[in-house]
Amino acid sequence: MADLSFSVGASSRCDVVRRGRSIAEEHLRVSVISEKQLLVEDLETEHGSYRNGRRFAKATIEPRDMLRLGRQELPGRFLFDEIAKLKNEGQADFTQYYQSLQPAFDQYKDQRNQVETKIKRKAMLPRVIITLSAMLIGITIAIISENNTARIIAMTAGTSVAVIAGFVSPSRSDEKKAALDKLRSEHQRKLSCPKCQTTLVDREWSYWYKTGTCPNARCTVIFRDVTNSYIE
């Protein structure tokens, strides 16, 4: 938050506009130190800036302090409120950005599904081959052999091998994990918070949309204006 700074003055170019004959076009520069402290700098104005009655060039103010620009009194609280409003306006920009991320989230989901399907097919193939071969051999022996006992043994053996094949075919879970990890690392930077870069890759687009915020509790980003959600 330390890099946030705002201008206060009579000019409409200022972030916070205050008009008055003793207020300069650009009167104050305000930097956010913390939620309860602002650094204020007087921009060498004719009528000056005062904190609790004392003129300052540079001062730290808290919400309960009394600020005066020229002859105009302003509770310190006023600046905190104005800055909170400005920050909310800045945050709102990310709702559009978040909408634009949706195709990338969808693409990542599709690619994950493709990996799942591909690995499933790969795992199935040896099972199918073993089963079919065992059945074929069993049937062939059963047809060409002349006595019934041999037939029964061949059929039974063939069926058993087919059933066992179903259980012993190799698992592909390592291969699947590696493929999914690779996909994740390809997407984690793109699918991240635009402000603090915390990755959003482990949940779907709709999850963060519902939450409305980034997983980093200290980040002020919003992905959806939850206060206006009743409009939708």
Alpha carbon distance 219, 212 (integer Å) = 12
Binding positions for Zn ion, 85-144, rule CB under 5 A: none
Min CB(200)–Zn ion separation in Å? 9
Shorter beta-carbon distance to Zn ion: residue 63 or 215: 215
How far apart CA 105 and CA 202 sit, in angstroms, is 10
Whole-Å CA distances, 30 to 1, 13, 41, 225: 12, 15, 6, 26
Candidates 55-63, 88-96, 150-158, 221-229; binding stretch for Zn ion (CB under 5 A): 221-229
* Residue showing tokens 């939450």: 211
Query: Hey, which residues between 33 and 92 contact Zn ion (CB under 5 A)?
Result: none
Strands 49-51 and 37-42: unpaired
Task: Give, in order, the Cα–Cα distances in Å from 109 to each of 120, 139, 165, 175, 177.
Answer: 17, 45, 32, 18, 15
Contacts with Zn ion: how many residues (CB under 5 A)?
Answer: 7
CB of 31 to Zn ion, least distance (A): 21
Chain residues 181-220 in contact with Zn ion, contact rule CB under 5 A:
193, 195-196, 214, 216, 219
Judged by beta carbon, residue 80 or residue 223, the one nearer Zn ion is 223
Residue 134 vs 193, nearer CB to Zn ion: 193
Long-range contacts from 180-187, C-beta under 8 angstroms, 24+ separation: 180/112, 180/115, 183/108, 183/111, 183/112, 183/115, 187/104, 187/108
Give me the least distance between CB of 195 and Zn ion, in Å please.
Answer: 5
Q: From the CB of 212, what's the least distance to Zn ion, in Å?
A: 12
Decide whether 159 or 198 has the Cβ nearer to Zn ion: 198
User: Which letter does DSSP use for residue 199 in this model?
Assistant: B
Rounded to a whole number of angstroms, the minimum distance from the CB of residue 180 to Zn ion is 24
* Cα–Cα–Cα angle for 137, 143, 148, rounded to 5 degrees: 110
CA distance 195 to 152: 72
Q: How far is the CB of 229 from Zn ion (least distance, A)?
A: 20
Query: Which of residues 83 and 200 has its CB atom nearest to Zn ion in the complex?
Result: 200
184 vs 195, beta carbon nearer Zn ion: 195
Binding footprint of Zn ion on the chain (CB under 5 A): 193, 195-196, 214, 216, 219, 221
